[in-house]
Amino acid sequence: MLDDVYKEYGGYFYVPMTQGYSVAVPVTIGCSWDKCLYCDLNQGNRFKVLGLEEIDKRLNILYKFYSNRRRPVERVVLAGGNPFCLNTDILMQIIHLIREYFPHVKNISSFARADDILRKSKEELLALKKLGIGELSIGVESGNDEILAFHNKGVTREDNYRALKRLEECNISYSTYIMLGLGGKRLSRENAIDTASLLSMLNPQVIIVVTLVLFKNARLVEKVRRGEFERLNTLDSIKEEKLLLENLQMKNTIFNATHKTNAIILKGKLPEQKAMLLRKINKALEEYDLKSIRNRDIYRWKNWSLE
């Protein structure tokens, strides 16, 4: 029944980690930027916006699918690489449509890039919040400008800072994705320290930690082959995570490093559980021997192509 709703997304249908229990409403296919070196999430899909009529059709199917549930739908996520790139008027029309089908919705989330947020005024963001926008998910990735520029992220540390501060001023909650290993071997320390310093000036609800994976179709593969980027091994990515965590000074944030790309699974509240998380990392560092790390690397990367 739902195949028709998500037909363009193929095997790469993804929503923010914090939105696993939200109903995903297709809004865009692919990402409006689609230039980050490490990314192959869009699988060659050119960016496309589904029109209101098409969204309406799919909402109709979703409505039928969820109508016999005991609890009404209260959480929705706009599906697509960055549906928040749409202008405010269109987003508002989409939200009104969603509310016609799911009147009990309390939160509407979306992936968003910093520039998608910065294109919206504070007034526009407040209007979207009033309609239920919250728990946005922003791929900050790194707090270091050299790393962001190398990977062609298209936004700077300052852009990320200004965008997230603007959300905070509008009281719109958000999570940030950050990526271990994005600086490779050369900029591992900078990735940890600069990302920690950026996040420490902000107040995300959740920090989602992922580890760089060399996807077969990502543009990064060429850079690795040419020796322009050296990936961290598993041990070094754990060390980077330790440095990141040591330098994070958060006020009230969940540190969620449970993503499947990570070497160790960690989750805890900051600042309260920082010492516990560091103890787990230290234990992992003590227990890993080189052989198991090498085997683990081979096991971990074999499906995702190698340089």
Binding interface with ligand SF4 (CB under 6 A): 31, 33-36, 39, 41, 81, 113, 139
Complex with ligand SF4: residue 116 or 135, whichever CB lies closer: 116
| CB of residue 56 to ligand SF4, shortest distance in Å | 25
DSSP secondary structure letters along 224-262: HHTTS-----HHHHHHHHHHHHHH---SSEEEEE-STTS
Complex with ligand SF4: residue 31 or 244, whichever CB lies closer: 31
| CB of residue 209 to ligand SF4, shortest distance in Å | 15
| CB of residue 82 to ligand SF4, shortest distance in Å | 6
| CB of residue 261 to ligand SF4, shortest distance in Å | 13
Complex with ligand SF4: residue 219 or 300, whichever CB lies closer: 219
> At CB < 8 A and 24+ separation, what contacts does 245-250 make?
245/196, 245/274, 245/277, 245/278, 245/281, 246/196, 246/278, 247/192, 247/193, 247/196, 247/197, 247/200, 248/196, 248/199, 248/200, 248/207, 248/274, 249/196, 249/200, 250/199, 250/200, 250/203, 250/207
| CB of residue 111 to ligand SF4, shortest distance in Å | 7
Complex with ligand SF4: residue 44 or 103, whichever CB lies closer: 44
| CB of residue 276 to ligand SF4, shortest distance in Å | 31
Complex with ligand SF4: residue 44 or 227, whichever CB lies closer: 44
Complex with ligand SF4: residue 47 or 66, whichever CB lies closer: 47
How far, in Å, CA of 28 to CA of 8, rounded? Answer: 10
CA distances from 181 to 56, 186, 211, 241, 244 (A): 41, 10, 6, 9, 11
